[in-house]
Amino acid sequence: MKIGYARVSTADQNLDLQTDALKQAGCEKIFADHGVSGAKTDRPGLDKALEHVRKGDTLVIWKLDRLGRSLSHLLSIVEDLKQQGADFASVQDGFDTSSASGKMVFSVIGAMAEYERNLIRERTMAGLTAARARGRMGGRPKSLDKSQVKVAIALAKAGELTIKQICEQVRCSRSTYYRQIATQLDHNEKTV
Of the candidates 70, 34, 181, 125, the residue with the CA atom closest to the CA atom of residue 78? 70
User: Is 90 known to be catalytic?
Assistant: no
Bridge partners of residue 30, in order along the sequence: 4
Contact present, 57 and 86 (Cβ < 8 Å): yes
* Dist CA 182 CA 17 (whole Å): 65
Which among 9, 70, 101, 107 is annotated as catalytic? Answer: 9
d(CA 43, CA 22): 19
Q: Which residues are catalytic?
A: 9
